[in-house]
Amino acid sequence: MHRPLRDRPEGPEEDRLFDLMRERAVHGLEDDELRELNRLAALHADVDVECYDRTAAALDLVFSGRRCPPLPEELKRRIASTAPRAVGAAVRPRPSSVRVHSPPDSSPSMAPVPPPPTRRANWPAWSGWIAATAAALVAVLGWTREPAPPDPTQVARVLQREVDAAPDCIVLPWKPTEDPDGRAVSGDLHWSTALQKGYMRFRGLPANDPAQKQYQLWIFDEPRGTDHPVDGGVFDVVGGEVVIPIDAKIRVNAPALFAVTAEPPGGVVVSKREHIISLAQL
C-alpha cells in the first residue's frame, strides 16, 4: 500500500509559508507579504513555492473558455494512456533501504521491517502529483471541451465596425408609418452591397411576443421590382434601443427600399404588407 501523504508539512513556519503560497496563487501578495514568503522559502528549500501558482495557471487555462483547436485522436489516446502512469509515478513512495537483520535464532523467512514514518511528508512528491493532475486537466479538458458560445454583443460590434468601414456603406434613417407600432420608431439602417452585410438600429420599436408575431425585413432590389422583395430576416425586439443584423436570403444588387413588417411567428414567404412598421429609402 502507498504511504499516506499529508497535504503540507507541519509546524507554524511551514503553515505560514503555505498560507502565503496559496494567497499569492489566488489573490496576490503585498510587498511585505512577498518579503515574508521569500524569507520562509529560503528557510525551507525543500518546498516548491511555485507549485500553487502553476496549478492555478493550469486550471485557469482549462476553465477560461478559450477556444482550442481539436486535439488529434492519436495524441488524445496517448495522453489517456500515459497520464495515469505519470500521476502514479509522481506519488509513488520510494522503496525503503532500511532492513532489520534477524537475530541468529529467528526464522530466516522473517520479512523486512519498514522504517517508522517521519513527521514530514514527501512534499516534492506531493507537488509533483499536483502538477501532473493539472497537466492532465489541461490536456484532456482543455482540448476536448466545447467552445464557449460567442457573445452576441461582441458579434454585433464586430459587424458594425466591418459594415461602417466598407467604402460603399449606405446609412438610411428609419421613417415612421401610420401603423400604431410604427409611429414612434426612429434609428437607422447600415448596408454594404459589396459585403452583402448590414445592420439595423431601432429606437421606439415596440417589444413583441414571438408566440404572437415577429418583425420581418424586406429589401426591395431594383432588378427584381416591387413584387418580389428579398427576405432580410425575421427578428424580435425586447424594447429600448436594439441592433439587429440583416440576414438577406439571396444576393441584393441594387437596394432601393427597406421595409419592416409585422408577420406571424416564423415570418412569411410573401408579405401581405398589412402592417408596415417602418421604411428606409434611398
> pLDDT tens across 97-146, in order?
444 444 555 444 455 555 554 444 445 545 555 555 555 555 555 555 55
Residue positions counted in the chain: 282
How does residue 52 score in pLDDT terms, banded at 50, 70 and 90?
confident
Enumerate the domain spans of the chain: 12-95+121-144, 152-281
Strand arrangement, sheet containing 170-173: 170-173, 186-192, 197-203, 242-245
Is residue 221 scored above 80 in pLDDT? yes
How does residue 277 score in pLDDT terms, banded at 50, 70 and 90?
very high
Query: What's the pLDDT score for residue 61?
Result: 61
Is residue 215 scored above 90 in pLDDT? yes
* Mean pLDDT of the chain, nearest integer: 77
Query: What's the pLDDT score for residue 90?
Result: 45
Query: What's the pLDDT score for residue 97?
Result: 45
Query: What's the pLDDT score for residue 233?
Result: 95
Mean pLDDT of 55-82: 66
Q: Which residue has the higher pLDDT, 51 or 246?
A: 246
